[in-house]
Structure 1
Amino acid sequence: MRIFMAADHGAYELKEDLVDWIRDQYELEVIDFGVHGPESVDYPDMAARLCRELLDSDPDDRGILLCGTGLGMSMAANRWSGIRAALCHDEYTARLSRQHNNANVLVMGGRVLGIAVARGIVDVWLREAFEGGRHQRRLDKLEQAGKGGGH
Protein backbone atom coordinates (compact mmCIF):
# COMPACT_ATOMS: atom_id res chain seq x y z
CA MET A 1 0.00 0.00 0.00
CA ARG A 2 1.16 3.50 -0.88
CA ILE A 3 -0.17 6.70 0.62
CA PHE A 4 -0.77 9.73 -1.60
CA MET A 5 -0.86 13.03 0.28
CA ALA A 6 -1.77 16.58 -0.63
CA ALA A 7 -2.66 19.72 1.27
CA ASP A 8 -3.44 23.33 0.66
CA HIS A 9 -1.76 26.18 2.51
CA GLY A 10 -4.13 25.78 5.47
CA ALA A 11 -2.61 22.44 6.45
CA TYR A 12 0.87 22.24 4.96
CA GLU A 13 2.53 22.05 8.40
CA LEU A 14 0.34 19.10 9.41
CA LYS A 15 1.04 17.39 6.08
CA GLU A 16 4.79 17.80 6.52
CA ASP A 17 4.58 16.16 9.96
CA LEU A 18 2.34 13.32 8.80
CA VAL A 19 4.46 12.49 5.73
CA ASP A 20 7.52 11.90 7.91
CA TRP A 21 5.56 10.18 10.68
CA ILE A 22 3.82 7.71 8.32
CA ARG A 23 7.13 6.85 6.64
CA ASP A 24 8.79 6.24 10.02
CA GLN A 25 5.87 4.57 11.82
CA TYR A 26 4.59 2.31 9.04
CA GLU A 27 7.49 2.17 6.59
CA LEU A 28 5.04 2.93 3.79
CA GLU A 29 5.83 4.76 0.59
CA VAL A 30 4.31 8.23 0.80
CA ILE A 31 3.90 10.23 -2.38
CA ASP A 32 3.76 13.90 -1.40
CA PHE A 33 2.02 16.19 -3.90
CA GLY A 34 2.61 19.29 -1.78
CA VAL A 35 2.23 22.08 -0.86
CA HIS A 36 5.48 22.67 0.94
CA GLY A 37 4.90 26.17 2.26
CA PRO A 38 2.28 28.75 3.24
CA GLU A 39 1.76 30.15 -0.27
CA SER A 40 -1.89 30.11 -1.25
CA VAL A 41 -3.12 27.36 -3.56
CA ASP A 42 -6.59 26.26 -4.62
CA TYR A 43 -7.75 23.14 -2.79
CA PRO A 44 -9.71 21.76 -5.80
CA ASP A 45 -6.44 21.60 -7.76
CA MET A 46 -4.66 19.71 -4.98
CA ALA A 47 -7.58 17.30 -4.53
CA ALA A 48 -7.80 16.67 -8.28
CA ARG A 49 -4.12 15.82 -8.52
CA LEU A 50 -4.35 13.28 -5.70
CA CYS A 51 -7.65 11.75 -6.89
CA ARG A 52 -6.43 11.36 -10.47
CA GLU A 53 -3.28 9.55 -9.29
CA LEU A 54 -5.15 7.42 -6.76
CA LEU A 55 -7.71 6.26 -9.31
CA ASP A 56 -4.89 5.21 -11.66
CA SER A 57 -3.00 3.33 -8.94
CA ASP A 58 -3.22 -0.01 -7.16
CA PRO A 59 -6.63 -0.54 -5.45
CA ASP A 60 -4.85 -0.95 -2.09
CA ASP A 61 -3.34 2.55 -2.26
CA ARG A 62 -4.99 5.30 -0.25
CA GLY A 63 -4.97 9.07 -0.06
CA ILE A 64 -4.88 11.71 2.64
CA LEU A 65 -6.06 15.25 1.88
CA LEU A 66 -5.66 18.18 4.24
CA CYS A 67 -6.91 21.75 4.20
CA GLY A 68 -7.82 24.27 6.90
CA THR A 69 -11.08 22.62 7.97
CA GLY A 70 -11.16 19.56 5.71
CA LEU A 71 -14.48 20.71 4.26
CA GLY A 72 -13.21 21.98 0.92
CA MET A 73 -10.99 18.96 0.27
CA SER A 74 -13.78 16.52 1.13
CA MET A 75 -16.21 18.29 -1.20
CA ALA A 76 -13.66 18.40 -4.02
CA ALA A 77 -12.57 14.77 -3.63
CA ASN A 78 -16.07 13.33 -3.45
CA ARG A 79 -16.88 14.73 -6.89
CA TRP A 80 -14.66 12.00 -8.38
CA SER A 81 -16.33 8.68 -9.17
CA GLY A 82 -14.50 5.95 -7.30
CA ILE A 83 -13.31 8.23 -4.52
CA ARG A 84 -14.81 7.77 -1.08
CA ALA A 85 -13.38 10.64 0.96
CA ALA A 86 -14.19 10.79 4.65
CA LEU A 87 -13.74 13.93 6.71
CA CYS A 88 -12.74 12.64 10.13
CA HIS A 89 -12.33 14.55 13.38
CA ASP A 90 -11.67 11.65 15.74
CA GLU A 91 -10.65 7.99 15.85
CA TYR A 92 -14.27 6.76 15.95
CA THR A 93 -15.19 8.38 12.63
CA ALA A 94 -11.89 7.19 11.13
CA ARG A 95 -12.65 3.59 12.22
CA LEU A 96 -16.16 3.59 10.78
CA SER A 97 -15.04 5.32 7.58
CA ARG A 98 -12.94 2.25 6.86
CA GLN A 99 -15.14 -0.50 8.33
CA HIS A 100 -18.47 0.67 6.89
CA ASN A 101 -17.59 3.01 4.02
CA ASN A 102 -14.29 1.61 2.73
CA ALA A 103 -12.98 5.20 2.56
CA ASN A 104 -9.99 5.36 0.25
CA VAL A 105 -9.27 9.00 1.10
CA LEU A 106 -8.96 10.42 4.61
CA VAL A 107 -9.60 14.15 4.95
CA MET A 108 -8.64 16.24 7.97
CA GLY A 109 -8.47 19.91 8.89
CA GLY A 110 -5.09 21.32 9.78
CA ARG A 111 -6.60 24.30 11.58
CA VAL A 112 -8.99 22.23 13.70
CA LEU A 113 -6.84 19.25 14.75
CA GLY A 114 -3.61 19.05 16.67
CA ILE A 115 -0.79 16.80 15.53
CA ALA A 116 -1.39 14.14 18.22
CA VAL A 117 -5.09 13.84 17.37
CA ALA A 118 -4.35 13.74 13.62
CA ARG A 119 -1.75 10.99 14.13
CA GLY A 120 -4.28 8.96 16.15
CA ILE A 121 -6.84 9.32 13.37
CA VAL A 122 -4.33 8.25 10.72
CA ASP A 123 -3.22 5.29 12.85
CA VAL A 124 -6.77 3.95 13.16
CA TRP A 125 -7.57 4.68 9.51
CA LEU A 126 -4.52 2.79 8.25
CA ARG A 127 -5.13 -0.26 10.47
CA GLU A 128 -8.86 -0.77 9.91
CA ALA A 129 -10.27 -2.96 7.14
CA PHE A 130 -13.56 -2.83 5.26
CA GLU A 131 -16.17 -5.21 6.72
CA GLY A 132 -18.05 -5.78 3.44
CA GLY A 133 -21.44 -7.49 3.75
CA ARG A 134 -24.37 -5.11 3.99
CA HIS A 135 -21.94 -2.20 3.68
CA GLN A 136 -20.91 -3.28 0.17
CA ARG A 137 -24.52 -3.06 -0.99
CA ARG A 138 -24.62 0.54 0.18
CA LEU A 139 -21.35 1.40 -1.51
CA ASP A 140 -22.66 -0.11 -4.74
CA LYS A 141 -25.64 2.25 -4.51
CA LEU A 142 -23.34 5.22 -3.99
CA GLU A 143 -21.30 4.25 -7.03
CA GLN A 144 -24.43 3.91 -9.17
CA ALA A 145 -25.63 7.34 -8.05
CA GLY A 146 -22.29 8.83 -9.04
CA LYS A 147 -22.11 7.45 -12.58
CA GLY A 148 -21.45 10.21 -15.03
CA GLY A 149 -19.88 12.50 -12.42
CA GLY A 150 -16.30 13.03 -11.35
CA HIS A 151 -13.69 13.04 -14.03
Structure 2
Amino acid sequence: KKHLESKEFEIIDVGTYSLDSVDYPDYGSKAAELVAKKEVDKGIVICTTGIGISIAANKVKGIRCALCTNAYMAKMTRLHNDANMLALGAGIVGKNLALEIVDTWLDTDFEGGRHIKRVEKIMDIENTL
Protein backbone atom coordinates (compact mmCIF):
# COMPACT_ATOMS: atom_id res chain seq x y z
CA LYS A 1 0.00 0.00 0.00
CA LYS A 2 2.76 2.44 0.95
CA HIS A 3 4.60 1.58 -2.27
CA LEU A 4 1.59 2.52 -4.39
CA GLU A 5 0.90 5.66 -2.39
CA SER A 6 4.51 6.73 -2.92
CA LYS A 7 3.81 6.52 -6.66
CA GLU A 8 0.76 8.73 -6.13
CA PHE A 9 -1.87 6.07 -6.78
CA GLU A 10 -5.18 6.61 -5.05
CA ILE A 11 -5.89 3.57 -2.87
CA ILE A 12 -9.19 2.17 -1.64
CA ASP A 13 -8.35 -0.51 0.90
CA VAL A 14 -11.24 -2.94 1.43
CA GLY A 15 -9.36 -4.89 4.11
CA THR A 16 -8.40 -6.87 5.92
CA TYR A 17 -7.07 -4.75 8.72
CA SER A 18 -5.60 -7.46 10.95
CA LEU A 19 -3.65 -10.69 10.78
CA ASP A 20 -6.70 -12.70 11.86
CA SER A 21 -7.93 -15.45 9.57
CA VAL A 22 -10.75 -14.21 7.33
CA ASP A 23 -12.89 -15.52 4.50
CA TYR A 24 -11.06 -14.38 1.35
CA PRO A 25 -14.21 -14.49 -0.85
CA ASP A 26 -15.59 -11.57 1.16
CA TYR A 27 -12.62 -9.38 0.26
CA GLY A 28 -12.04 -10.65 -3.27
CA SER A 29 -15.63 -9.99 -4.25
CA LYS A 30 -15.69 -6.59 -2.53
CA ALA A 31 -12.62 -5.43 -4.48
CA ALA A 32 -13.95 -6.93 -7.71
CA GLU A 33 -17.27 -5.15 -7.35
CA LEU A 34 -15.46 -1.79 -7.19
CA VAL A 35 -13.68 -2.63 -10.45
CA ALA A 36 -16.80 -4.01 -12.14
CA LYS A 37 -18.82 -0.91 -11.21
CA LYS A 38 -15.96 1.24 -12.55
CA GLU A 39 -15.53 2.94 -9.19
CA VAL A 40 -11.83 2.13 -9.60
CA ASP A 41 -9.73 1.39 -12.69
CA LYS A 42 -7.93 -1.69 -11.40
CA GLY A 43 -7.79 -3.92 -8.35
CA ILE A 44 -5.10 -5.85 -6.53
CA VAL A 45 -6.01 -8.66 -4.15
CA ILE A 46 -3.82 -10.80 -1.91
CA CYS A 47 -4.28 -14.01 0.04
CA THR A 48 -1.86 -16.75 1.07
CA THR A 49 -1.61 -18.38 -2.36
CA GLY A 50 -3.62 -15.93 -4.45
CA ILE A 51 -5.70 -18.81 -5.78
CA GLY A 52 -8.86 -18.52 -3.72
CA ILE A 53 -9.10 -14.76 -3.89
CA SER A 54 -8.58 -14.77 -7.67
CA ILE A 55 -11.32 -17.37 -8.08
CA ALA A 56 -13.67 -15.27 -5.93
CA ALA A 57 -12.87 -12.08 -7.85
CA ASN A 58 -13.43 -13.82 -11.19
CA LYS A 59 -16.98 -14.73 -10.16
CA VAL A 60 -17.92 -11.05 -10.47
CA LYS A 61 -19.18 -10.19 -13.96
CA GLY A 62 -16.68 -8.15 -15.95
CA ILE A 63 -13.63 -9.17 -13.96
CA ARG A 64 -10.48 -10.64 -15.44
CA CYS A 65 -8.33 -11.31 -12.40
CA ALA A 66 -4.93 -12.85 -13.08
CA LEU A 67 -2.84 -14.65 -10.48
CA CYS A 68 0.77 -13.74 -11.25
CA THR A 69 3.90 -15.19 -9.71
CA ASN A 70 6.42 -13.27 -11.81
CA ALA A 71 6.75 -10.02 -13.74
CA TYR A 72 6.48 -11.73 -17.14
CA MET A 73 3.04 -13.09 -16.25
CA ALA A 74 2.00 -9.63 -15.06
CA LYS A 75 3.15 -8.05 -18.31
CA MET A 76 1.48 -10.64 -20.53
CA THR A 77 -1.84 -10.59 -18.71
CA ARG A 78 -2.07 -6.85 -19.27
CA LEU A 79 -0.80 -6.96 -22.88
CA HIS A 80 -2.93 -9.88 -24.06
CA ASN A 81 -5.78 -10.37 -21.57
CA ASP A 82 -6.47 -6.80 -20.42
CA ALA A 83 -6.62 -8.10 -16.85
CA ASN A 84 -8.36 -5.56 -14.66
CA MET A 85 -7.35 -7.24 -11.42
CA LEU A 86 -4.13 -8.74 -10.14
CA ALA A 87 -3.96 -11.47 -7.50
CA LEU A 88 -0.85 -12.21 -5.48
CA GLY A 89 0.03 -15.00 -3.10
CA ALA A 90 1.70 -13.56 -0.01
CA GLY A 91 3.05 -16.99 0.88
CA ILE A 92 4.33 -17.55 -2.66
CA VAL A 93 6.11 -14.35 -3.67
CA GLY A 94 8.34 -12.29 -1.41
CA LYS A 95 7.99 -8.56 -0.92
CA ASN A 96 10.52 -7.50 -3.58
CA LEU A 97 9.07 -9.81 -6.21
CA ALA A 98 5.55 -8.70 -5.32
CA LEU A 99 6.53 -5.06 -5.85
CA GLU A 100 8.12 -5.92 -9.20
CA ILE A 101 4.97 -7.78 -10.27
CA VAL A 102 2.72 -4.90 -9.20
CA ASP A 103 4.86 -2.26 -10.92
CA THR A 104 5.03 -4.26 -14.14
CA TRP A 105 1.29 -4.91 -14.12
CA LEU A 106 0.42 -1.26 -13.50
CA ASP A 107 2.93 0.04 -16.06
CA THR A 108 1.75 -2.24 -18.89
CA ASP A 109 -1.13 -1.24 -21.16
CA PHE A 110 -3.43 -3.54 -23.10
CA GLU A 111 -1.98 -4.18 -26.55
CA GLY A 112 -5.34 -4.38 -28.30
CA GLY A 113 -5.20 -5.62 -31.89
CA ARG A 114 -5.88 -9.32 -32.25
CA HIS A 115 -6.34 -9.58 -28.48
CA ILE A 116 -9.52 -7.47 -28.48
CA LYS A 117 -11.50 -10.27 -30.15
CA ARG A 118 -10.09 -12.81 -27.70
CA VAL A 119 -11.01 -10.76 -24.65
CA GLU A 120 -14.47 -10.22 -26.13
CA LYS A 121 -14.84 -13.99 -26.52
CA ILE A 122 -13.99 -14.43 -22.84
CA MET A 123 -16.62 -11.87 -21.93
CA ASP A 124 -19.14 -13.58 -24.22
CA ILE A 125 -18.74 -16.79 -22.23
CA GLU A 126 -19.66 -14.88 -19.10
CA ASN A 127 -22.69 -13.32 -20.78
CA THR A 128 -24.11 -16.57 -22.16
CA LEU A 129 -24.09 -18.74 -19.06
Q: TM-score, normalised by structure 2?
A: 0.95
Which 5+ residue runs of structure 2 have no aligned equivalent?
none
* 1:64 partner SS: strand
Q: Which of 51, 54, 67 matches 1:87?
A: 67
Moved more, 94-103 or 76-85: 76-85
Moved more, 101-110 or 30-39: 30-39
* 1:82 partner SS: coil
Cα distance, 1:148 vs structure 2:
5.6
Identity %: 40
More strand by share: 1
Q: How far apart, in 2, do the equivalents of 1:140 and 1:61 lie?
A: 18
* 1:106 partner SS: strand
* 1:66 partner SS: strand
| One-letter amino acid of the structure 1 residue matched with residue 10 of structure 2 | E
Which 5+ residue runs of structure 1 have no aligned equivalent?
1-18
Please name the residue that 1:6 is paired with. none
Q: Which of 5, 20, 27 matches 2:2?
A: 20
Confirm whether residue 57 of structure 1 aligns to residue 38 of structure 2: yes
Q: Which of 77, 80, 102 matches 1:100?
A: 80
The number of equivalent residue pairs is 129
